[in-house]
Amino acid sequence: MQMQIQKKGDEILKRIESQSKVSLFSKDFWYGSIMDWSMKNEHFKTQMFRFVDVLPSLNSGSDVAKHLKEYFSESGEELPSVFNVGLGLGSLAPALMAGAIRKNVTQMAKMFIVGENPEEALPVLKKARKNKICFTVDILGEATLSEKEALEYQSKYLELIEWLGKDAKNWDEIEQIDRDHEGAIPKVNVSVKLTALYSQINDKAWDVTKTHLKDRLRPILVSAMNKNIFINLDMEQYAVKHLTLEVFKELMMEPELKNYPHFGVVIQAYLRDSLADIKDLVRFSQERGTHFSIRLVKGAYWDHETMEAEQQRWPIPVYTNKKESDANYEACAEYLLQNFKYIRAALASHNVRTIAAAIVAAEKLGVPNNGFEIQMLFGMADPIKKSLVDMGYRVREYSPVGDLIPGMAYLVRRLLENTSNESWLRGKFADGKSSEQLLADPKMNLQITSPLPSQENRFYNEAFKDFAFAENRKALQEALDLSKRSLGQTIPLHIGGKNITSSRTLSRENPSNKEQILGQISAANKEEAEQAFQAAQKAFLSWKIKPANERADLIDRLADLMTRDRYQLMATQILEVGKPWAEADGDVAEAIDFCRYYARHMRELAKDQKMGKVPGELSLYNYHPRGVTLAIAPWNFPLAILTGMAAAAVVTGNTVIMKPAEQSSLVAYGLMKLIQEAGFPPGVFNLLSGYGEEVGEYLVQYPHVATIAFTGSKAVGLHILREASVHRQGQQQVKRCIIEMGGKNAVIVDNDADLDEAVDGVLYSAFGFSGQKCSACSRVIVLADVYEKFEARLLEATKSIFQGMAEDPRAYLGPVVDEEAYLRILKTIEEAKKNHKMLYQGPEVHGGYFVPPTIFTLVDPNSNLAQQEIFGPVLAMIKARDLTDAIHIANNTEYALTGGLYSRSPANIAKVKAEFEVGNMYINRGITGAMVDRHPFGGFKMSGIGSKTGGPDYLKQFMEPRNITENTIRRGFAPTE
Ligand code: NAD
């Protein structure tokens, strides 16, 4: 078999050799020389691809010149001569230079894109047919952010089908490409991307998402079927793989579509589960009774998949060794060909070894040459295509049509592919590898890799739940059902190891559903606060001398229990504070992270540090706990913040009184139960739910509280600072206050920003959890040139999001936390309407405290709306003249918590990094969702005076550093160290 493959491969290679030597990689052309440089120099490659990506969004010649300089001249690298002109070394004026560069890049894009629109594409497609190459057309587009954009896409596909279908009636049949072993096949073949058709794809709301996708795709399939056109459903990122396959299968079984064979789907052989998917599809095809096609590809999102999995700590879905993908491709191809009765194979590859192996397998299995087809991308591997055409195979080109802006993302993917070390085309046409190397069996010396993300001995964040898996959706739904069955309980206080039901209670309702009372919360009084202090003080005496490792082990145990009860903890906060699913998942994961991170860090901090290095002296620096800590938490990260503050206090040897927010006491009690189960001694953790002004205030003033860790509003934070500073009778130590407060966070959108990302990131940062995150975006400062375009897309995107009960998995945003917040925010909006232009307010939702997402435009940066924290789904859009103006506006508040920038200008990014005054800055991503260790969190100015949570300095605030110096010389003798 290997011999036959070698022979077949050699035959193809020989045919390639006999053709013109001009290839993609030939250096005579601008593209070739760019590729040559890219392959030799990784840094240049990154800069080049980034430059190509941003180019279409640059409006003026001087902008192009600016970016070119920023990307290429600072590194001091030698540049290909094509750039000399652009860098002032030539004589062209910037505008002319920009034109030249733009022309070259456009030409480069045009090598891979058949046309900017169907009219432009048609002659190209027809010409290919003359050369006996058929096509499948794909429409390139920007990311679909709104339903308007999704519907536009759908119409584009429908029009394309209509138009090509009509024209194709006049096309001559070409036997080699228009017939298979059973007869005529459609001349027109269109590839559709699922994610283009619906803007609200959401794994949590799986069935609703599928219904929408099917509703959008169905008319396209029906129209194609009526015109005898082939439709292929493309495959994109792994995140939508399960969805794509389910949508495909369900549509294929619909009575109207069930008997049409000219539909297809894609399987990516770089996925570890690809062979299993093919087997499943073969079974499915038997059930359907009419065959369909599978395009087998290697997969084009390898970098994305590996990075995404590493970031999320999810199993890596792709093979990490290229040879494994190649070997798996051959296995998949063989399996498909074995089953060609049920599934038609479209073998897509530019690798001659892969193609030869598939052809040999087909021959061995008796599949006729026209019983399968070979697919390649337009603009790539032309000599291979021609060779295969000459050998009589049906070769189809994947032919994208569309605008240049979205085309650039496609172009960059192709450039990456062609310049990758692993690229077969590069090996053949640029690196001149021998035919043995080029045709080697990928199974030879194959190293099997593991799907596990990297496992070093360091802290890793707890992985979020992947709701693309049905078991995760089911588990959360069950936890919600269980929580709802046990509503109405009275939640006790927990003091000195005992549950105590207070004489007074406060009632907590579900903010998504006012009628639903979740429970009665014990509201501690001053006597109970006193008892809690005494219990904590007593426990402190023995807890502080417990070895740090043992304290850390217990905190780790608490993390383990939270991991075990993850879904239940999520369900409680979905009901109690109105957190949508993903937000609740994030909060619980963060609570687990705080425990693990602080436990780990404490084990390090517990080691004595030797100071100085002089003989005869032992000087040791170490940390000691301070005493009883009061942890006063907000409701918006109900588990994470309370856990973080309390675990930090306890792991460092203090004891703690936890005072949760009134609105999130059920969550706090859930935590307390796990603390008890973990086995902490009585009095180490105490829980005092109740009113802040009463029990909180009492303990803030209590003379013997050593440390106050507070997270909440500016007003309360400053009040606590004031009260804590008073020296009261009997008080022996200054209270230390770790105070985290609010923000008025801004995102700056630069003229050259990638709007697909900027709109999406701003939308989620502003409206995720109804804008009730301290890190939420409440001001978006957009540069003048791009203001209108950004505004239009943001408006449509906001119109498309769904607001509803937090337990409804569709909810992009749920309610605000309670009636007080609801009334306050609505009043703010009403006030703002008087002085500002309202761009949009979402529809009313009834039954709970739903404040609709609201956007004001052209807001005065000094107005109340732009200055005061609203803590709700209200966004102020502000127009800035230029970047300096934008930074000035951004900094012009009393807060400095989070901030962001969307830009593709290296110089502008550097300027904002240096000048934007915020504790946490995010570039080219949303500004919420800080993760322990990766993004230690906290602000300054009026946003707080603590050092960052989840970072290396946090624990030290709960301890006193001490230094102990011992003279070790006795009678002139000192022990050696
Ligand atoms: P809040 O200030 O109203 O309440 C916070 C806590 O303080 C609650 O437990 C409350 O009972 C208690 N409290 C109220 N009055 C008190 C008093 N006189 N003495 C002692 N305790 C008292 O804040 P909130 O509404 O729960 O949370 C929202 C605020 O928190 C927003 O301003 C937000 O920006 C901020 N926040 C900041 C961060 C951060 O890390 N910087 C994180 C989350 C929330």
Residues with Cβ within 6 A of ligand 1?
632-637, 641, 659, 661-662, 692-693, 696-697, 700, 711-713, 716, 719-720, 740-743, 774, 869, 871, 897, 938-939, 943-944
CA of 835 to the centre of ligand 1 (A): 29
Determine the Cα angle at 973 with ends 970 and 975, to 5°. Answer: 100
Q: What pLDDT sits at residue 59? A: 84
User: How much of the chain, in percent, has pLDDT values that exceed 90?
Assistant: 84
pLDDT score for 417: 81
Nearest atom, ligand 1, residue 699 CA: 20
What secondary structure does DSSP assign to 910-968, as a single string? HHHHHH---SEEEESS-S----TTTS-B--EETTBSSPPBTSTTTGGGGEEEEEEEEE-
CA of 481 to the centre of ligand 1 (A): 30
Question: Which atom of ligand 1 is nearest to 691's Cα?
Answer: 11
Mutate to test the pocket of ligand 1, among 671, 711, 722 (most ligand atoms within 8 A of CB): 711
Q: For the segment 780-801, what is each residue's pLDDT rounded down to a tens digit?
A: 999 999 999 999 999 999 999 9
Among residues 332, 595, 774, 777, the one annotated as catalytic is 774
Question: Ligand 1 centroid vs 668 CA: distance in angstroms?
Answer: 15
- Ligand 1 atom nearest to CA at 661: 9
**528-579 pLDDT per residue, tens:** 999 999 999 999 999 999 999 999 999 999 999 999 999 999 999 999 999 9
671, 701, 702, 716: residue to mutate for ligand 1 pocket, most atoms within 8 A of CB: 716
Residue nearest to atom 35 of ligand 1 (CA): 712
Work out the pLDDT band at 19, boundaries 50, 70, 90: confident
Contacts 24+ apart (CB under 8 A), 828-831: 828/865, 828/870, 828/872, 828/874, 829/854, 829/874, 831/864
Which residue is closest in CA terms to ligand 1's atom 11? Answer: 692
Atom of ligand 1 nearest to the CA of 949: 40
User: Which residue's alpha carbon is at the smallest distance from atom 28 of ligand 1?
Assistant: 712
Q: Per-residue pLDDT tens for 150-168?
A: 999 999 999 999 999 999 9
Task: Supply the pLDDT for residue 95.
Answer: 61
Task: Give distance in angstroms: CA of 476 to centre of ligand 1.
Answer: 28
Whether 740 is catalytic is yes
> Smallest Cα–Cα separation from 854: which of 804, 811, 813?
813
pLDDT band, residue 461 (cuts 50/70/90)? very high
Residue 719 CA: nearest ligand 1 atom is 18
Q: Any idea what DSSP says for residue 446? A: P
Pocket test for ligand 1, best of 713, 818, 820 (most atoms within 8 A of CB): 713
Q: Ligand 1, atom 19: nearest CA belongs to which residue?
A: 697
Note the pLDDT of residue 104.
80
**φ and ψ at residue 686, rounded to 5 degrees:** -130, 145
Please enumerate in sequence order all residues whose Cβ is within 8 A of that of 708, keeping only pairs 6 or more positions apart, or say none. Answer: 629, 630, 632, 700, 720, 724, 735, 736, 737, 738, 739
Query: What whole-number distance in Å separates Cα of residue 46 and Cα of residue 305?
Result: 18
Indicate the helix (H) or strand (E) that contains 388.
helix 382-390
Nearest CA to ligand 1 atom 39: 740
Q: Output the CA 670–ligand 1 centroid distance in Å.
A: 20
Question: Which protein residue has the closest C-alpha to ligand 1 atom 34?
Answer: 742
Q: How many residues are recorded in the chain?
A: 977
Please say if the pLDDT value at position 729 is more than 50: yes
462 in catalytic set: no
CA 743 to ligand 1: nearest atom: 34
User: What average pLDDT score do residues 728-742 get?
Assistant: 97
CA of 942 to the centre of ligand 1 (A): 14
Q: Whose CA is nearest to atom 18 of ligand 1?
A: 693
Q: Whose CA is nearest to atom 22 of ligand 1?
A: 692
Question: If you measure from the C-alpha of residue 634 to the centroid of ligand 1, how many angstroms do you get, rounded to a whole number?
Answer: 4
When pLDDT is cut at 50, 70 and 90, the band that residue 946 belongs to is confident
Ligand 1 pocket test, pick from 573, 590, 632 with the greatest ligand atom count within 8 Å of Cβ, gives 632
Predicted pLDDT at 85: 47
Tally Cβ neighbours within 10 Å of residue 62.
14
Instruction: Report yes or no: 356 and 326 within 8 Å, Cβ to Cβ.
Output: no
Tens-place pLDDT, residues 323-356: 999 999 999 999 999 999 999 999 999 999 999 9
Report the share of the chain in percent with pLDDT over 70.
96
User: What pLDDT score does 420 carry?
Assistant: 81
Higher pLDDT, 821 or 73: 821
- CA-632 nearest atom, ligand 1: 9
633 or 432, higher pLDDT: 633
User: Could you tell me the distance, in angstroms and rounded to a whole number, from the CA of residue 953 to the centre of ligand 1?
Assistant: 22
Whether residue 806 is predicted with pLDDT greater than 90 in this model: the reply is yes
pLDDT tens, position by position, 22-66: 565 665 566 777 777 778 788 888 888 898 899 888 888 888 888
Check residue 974 and give its pLDDT.
87
Distance 633 CA to ligand 1 centre (A): 6
- Residue 975: pLDDT above 90? no
- For the cut 50, the answer to whether the pLDDT of residue 89 exceeds it is no
Instruction: Give the contacts of 347 (CB within 8 A, at least 6 positions apart).
Output: 295, 296, 333, 354, 355, 358, 372, 373, 374, 375
CA distance 716 to 739: 10
Cα of 955 vs centre of ligand 1, distance in Å, is 21
Q: Which residue puts its alpha carbon closest to atom 23 of ligand 1?
A: 712
Ligand 1 atom nearest to 937, measured from its CA = 40
Residue 79 — very low, low, confident or very high, per pLDDT cuts 50/70/90? low
pLDDT in the model for residue 82: 55
**CA–centroid distance, residue 962 to ligand 1 (Å):** 32
Out of 70, 740, 791, 869, the active site residue is 740
**Atom of ligand 1 lying closest to residue 821 CA:** 25
955 HSE (CA, 13 A, CB side): 28
Least confident among 14-28, 57-71, 477-491:
14-28
